[in-house]
Amino acid sequence: MKMPVGILAAALRLPSNHRSAEDLFREETVPFSSEVAARLGIKEVPIRNGESGSDMAVEAAREALKLAGVEPAQVDVIVEYSILPQEYLVPVWNMSNKVQGDIGATKSFVVGFSGGGATNFLVALNSAAALLQENDALKTAVLVTADITIPGNRVLNPHYPITVLGDSASAVVLQRGATASTILGTELWSDGTNHDICYIPGGSLVHPDNADLYRLELDQQRYDAFPRKDVLHKLSHSLLGRMNLSLNDVSTVIYSNISSEDQDLCQQVFEGKMSPVCASNLTTHGHLQGTDFVANYLSLIANGGTKKGDYVLMASHGMGALAGTSLLQC
């Protein structure tokens, strides 16, 4: 029987500087109203004040390792799940290499994943668990990210705001043989027709020198048309079915923090099982890509929202491009 892989510790690094959603809308000349405020449910977001994303990621990784009681030299693999553009262009450069060097994970190798919005965290979780489970020489992994929003691009889809983006970094330590927060499985599915539903057209090979296009864009028509409820329902039931479980067995659902409107949809799919911490973190952090899961997981643990043996389901529609669900047992 394969040894379980579980979460030993996690850490969140948020800049101390915060800006209100209303201020950011004004700055980006997007109309703000009580209807928009209620639909988004975001009051403020953390914004960096000079610190680099990679330095925040290094701090998060160090803190997570300290909490886990793991020396950096024991880390076997570092897995990155960043989604927003980095200090150098990916995939020539990857922040995970810098994290490896800075924390002193001398025996580690690194791997990073692209695409899928917040679901990229579940891709990283699934892949890291597989690496630890299937390779005798690998026992401990650090998952890490830093997502820093493009200046002036915090309100996604200004014509009909979908979310407000904050800055953050986070890290998670996984270990084979962990006895709590074990990862039981993950289900992922992409809709290739939506590969460019959320993307940055400028600064790429297609538009190399048009800095005006260097903004995260969302195709709202396709985003609205994507059957988020059906896909999340299908994936979660498929995953639970593989474990001979049903939604009745799940104690709590952790979801990404895109908007109140989106979280209402999650409540419908999961019969009201989304943890209240998701709505709370949405209010104070906005959307932090894959870090949403780390922030919500940490809040859930801190609030005593789980007990030993509980099943926790994590779910994300990945903006319509890559949907996923993962099941943890506390």
Partner 1 sequence: MNTNIGIHAANYYLPPQKKALADIFRDEEMPSEPLAAAVDFKKDIGIEAVHVAGQETAASLAINAAKNVIQSSGIDPLEIDLIIDFTSIPEDYVAPTWSAAGLVQREVGAKRAFATAINTGGCASYQTTLKVACSLMSANEHYKTALLIAGDKTPEFNHNYYPITVVSDGGSAVILKKDVEKRRILGVEVATLGKLHDIWVIPGIHNRKPEDIGGKYPRWLHVCGDIARFNKELIPMNLFMFRKVMQGVLKQVGKKMADVSYFIYPTFSAWDLKAFQEAFNVPKEKVFLDGLHHGHLQETDMVLDYVDAIDAGRIKDGDLVMLTTNGAGFSWGATLVQH
Q: Which of residues 138-197 bind partner 1 (CB under 8 A)?
A: 148, 150, 185, 188-196
Tell me the closest approach of the beta carbon of residue 206 to partner 1, in angstroms.
5
User: Is 125 one of the binding residues for partner 1 (CB under 8 A)?
Assistant: no
Number of other residues whose CB lies within 10 A of the CB of residue 174: 28
- Among candidate residues 2, 42, 46, the one with its CA nearest the CA of residue 22: 42
Q: How far is the CB of 64 from partner 1 (least distance, A)?
A: 17
- Could you say which of 30, 90, 180, 247 contacts partner 1 (CB under 8 A)? 90
Residue 67, CA distances (Å) to 99, 182, 200, 245 in order: 17, 17, 36, 32
Q: Which is nearer to partner 1, 275 or 325 (CB)?
A: 325
Q: Which is nearer to partner 1, 43 or 215 (CB)?
A: 215
CA-to-CA distance for 312 and 64, rounded, in angstroms?
21
Residue 325 CA, distance from chain mean position: 12
Give the residue with the Cβ less far from partner 1, 110 or 301.
110
The verdict on 274 binding partner 1 (CB under 8 A) reads no
Which residue in the set 20, 74, 214, 283 belongs to the binding site for partner 1 (CB under 8 A)? 214
Q: Name the residue among 316, 303, 308, 306 with its Cα closest to residue 270.
A: 316
Q: What distance in Å separates the CA atoms of residue 68 and residue 71, rounded to the nearest whole number?
A: 9
What pairing do the DSSP bridges indicate for beta strands 311-316 and 322-329? antiparallel
| ω into 72 cis (within 30 of 0) | no
Which residue from 8, 298, 321, 327 is in contact with partner 1, where contact means CB under 8 A? 321
Find the binder of partner 1 among 14, 129, 173, 240 (CB under 8 A): 129
Site for partner 1 in 26-85 (CB under 8 A): 80, 82-85
